[in-house]
């Protein structure tokens, strides 16, 4: 099943002209710099903004097709929307806010008690919105949207107005959403850490266009996207916890043919964890793996093949895309290193990653793994 979006809209001098298909269910991040039109895309999908031309198809049903003269009004699309500023009704209690959409949608797959438990809202039900903290407000807004029994949940930078602590308070709830409810989620953000933690797929926007779209691990490890130019560029991998070595205080994670050692984890064996391998932390070598392993403190020596090399003028560096054991990795090295090692697409190479450099982002179960 898919959500297919194509739209063209002119705002003053800027033009938005994008098209993407994303799998449903699953979390898709719409990622790009501020002002690129991400929120307008969400507004168009919800029917709050009518673009010059627009086609939105959700699991085969046309929500909008301006060419065919189809434009379902927002209130009949059953598309949930979580706004950046929560937009709770100030004259209603938390419980009444939660029930607002539920009453109109009728009982559905998502029950009141289930949502209250999922988002930890039971202590807030009698309160008024103006007495809530920013994080609490956003949780209520998410619950209210879920209870309207949407077929698709749109989230417009739901964490952007929160400080880091509040953000960390909500992220685990969000990570649970799509697995608990199997609801497709389209999530707009300009924060890469949210993408890394939540998204299964990414649609990268720049200057009103889609520059890349696909599964997060494939996109994050590409050398030729705007993501690769960021300081924090790096591969994002979903791995299975394969072994806990308590004596060495290490855990071994596996993904396809790749095996990564990381500092000891609490996640149970067999669970899925998401890790980020920052490109600047990946060293490249062309020699015998055994010779390195004996001499260095290093735990992760990953044999692979260079897939592509792109210039990163901003950092005076080269971005090297490597496939190691079926997993995509990204390494930021100097152009000089590329020349000295005579790296080219197809070259065999060793990717060296300190176990301490692997960022473990949290446990999660993926819907489309």
Residues 6+ apart with CB under 8 A from 95: 125, 126
Neighbouring CB atoms inside 10 A of 220's CB total: 27
**152-191 binders of other proteins (CB under 8 A):** none
- Applying CB under 8 A, among 46, 181, 202, 219 the residue interacting with other proteins is 46
How far apart (Å, rounded) are the C-alpha atoms in residues 218 and 205? 16
- Please answer whether residues 176 and 118 qualify as being in contact, where contact means their C-beta atoms are separated by less than 8 angstroms: yes
Q: Read off the DSSP letter of residue 334.
A: -
Q: Residue 270 region, left (φ>0) first, then alpha (ψ -120 to 50), else beta?
A: left
Residues 100/106, Cβ–Cβ less than 8 Å: no
Whether omega before 31 lies within 30 degrees of 0, making that bond cis, reads no
Residue whose CB is less far from other proteins, 20 or 81: 81
The residue within the footprint of other proteins, chosen from 148, 174, 195, 205 (CB under 8 A), is 148
226 touches 206 (CB < 8 A): yes
Instruction: Write down the least CB distance from residue 141 to other proteins, Å.
Output: 8
Strand partners, 252: 243, 261
* Token code pair at residue 180: 């608990």
Asked if 145 interacts with other proteins (CB under 8 A), we say: yes
Q: Considering beta carbons, is residue 69 or 90 the nearer one to other proteins?
A: 90
48 lies in the site for other proteins, by CB under 8 A? yes
Q: Is 50 helix (H, G, I), strand (E, B) or coil?
A: coil
If the CB atoms of residues 128 and 315 are measured against other proteins, the closer one turns out to be 128
Number of residues in contact with other proteins under rule CB under 8 A? 27
Quick one: which segment of 31-39, 46-54, 166-174, 344-352 binds other proteins (CB under 8 A)? 46-54
Output the smallest distance, CB 72 to other proteins, in A. Answer: 12
Min CB(103)–other proteins separation in Å? 9
Q: Does 249 bind other proteins (CB under 8 A)?
A: no
List the interface residues with other proteins, window 82-121 (CB under 8 A): 83, 85, 87, 89-91, 100-101, 104-105
Q: Does 304 bind other proteins (CB under 8 A)?
A: no
Please name which of 126, 171, 151 lies closest in space to residue 60, comparing C-alpha atoms. 151
Stretch that binds other proteins, among 51-59, 124-132, 179-187, 351-359 (CB under 8 A): 124-132
Distance, CA of 223 to CA of 105 (rounded, Å): 45
Residue 206 binds other proteins (CB under 8 A): no
Closer CB to other proteins, 42 or 239, in the complex: 42
CB of 6 to other proteins, least distance (A): 21
CA pseudo-torsion sign 222, 233, 227, 32: positive
Nearer to other proteins, 62 or 87 (CB): 87
Between 146 and 327, CB nearer to other proteins: 146
Alpha helices for 90-223 (secondary structure H): 94-105, 112-118, 134-147, 164-181, 192-198, 216-220
CA atoms within 13 A on the CB side of 233: 30
Which listed residue (128, 151, 240, 307) binds other proteins by CB under 8 A? 128
Residues that bind other proteins (CB under 8 A): 46-48, 73-76, 78-81, 83, 85, 87, 89-91, 100-101, 104-105, 128-130, 144-145, 148
């Amino acid at each position: 099943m898919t959500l297919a979006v194509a739209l063209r809209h002119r705002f003053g001098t800027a033009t938005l002209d994008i098209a993407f298909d994303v799998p449903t269910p699953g979390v898709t991040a719409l990622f790009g710099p501020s002002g690129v039109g991400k929120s307008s895309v969400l507004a168009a999908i919800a029917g709050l903004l009518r673009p010059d031309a627009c086609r939105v198809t959700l699991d085969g049903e046309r929500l909008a097709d301006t060419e065919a003269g189809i434009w379902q009004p927002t209130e009949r699309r059953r598309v949930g929307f979580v706004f950046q500023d929560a937009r709770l009704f100030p004259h209603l209690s938390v419980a009444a806010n939660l029930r607002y959409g539920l009453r109109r949608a009728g009982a559905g797959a998502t029950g009141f008690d289930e949502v209250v438990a999922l988002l930890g809202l039971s202590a807030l039900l009698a309160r008024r919105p103006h007495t809530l903290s920013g994080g609490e407000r956003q949780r209520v807004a998410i619950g209210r949207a879920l209870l309207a029994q949407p077929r698709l949940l749109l989230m417009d930078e739901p964490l952007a107005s929160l400080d880091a602590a509040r953000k960390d308070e909500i992220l685990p709830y969000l990570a649970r959403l799509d697995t608990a409810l199997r609801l497709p989620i389209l999530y707009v953000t300009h924060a890469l850490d949210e993408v890394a933690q939540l998204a299964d797929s990414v649609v990268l926007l720049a200057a009103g266009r889609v520059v890349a779209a696909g599964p997060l691990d494939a996109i994050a490890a590409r050398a030729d996207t705007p993501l690769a130019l960021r300081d924090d560029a790096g591969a994002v991998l979903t791995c299975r916890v394969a072994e806990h070595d308590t004596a060495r205080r290490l855990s071994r994670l596996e993904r396809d043919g790749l095996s990564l050692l990381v500092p000891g984890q609490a996640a149970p064996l067999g669970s899925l964890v998401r890790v980020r391998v920052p490109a600047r932390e990946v060293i490249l070598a062309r020699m015998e793996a055994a010779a390195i392993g004996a001499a260095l403190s290093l735990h992760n020596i990953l044999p692979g093949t260079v897939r592509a090399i792109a210039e990163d003028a901003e950092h005076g560096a080269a971005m090297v895309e490597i496939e190691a054991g079926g997993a995509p990795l990204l390494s930021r090295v100097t152009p000089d290193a590329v020349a000295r090692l005579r790296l080219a697409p197809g070259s065999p190479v060793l990717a060296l990653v300190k176990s301490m450099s692997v960022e473990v982002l949290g446990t999660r179960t993926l819907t489309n793994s």
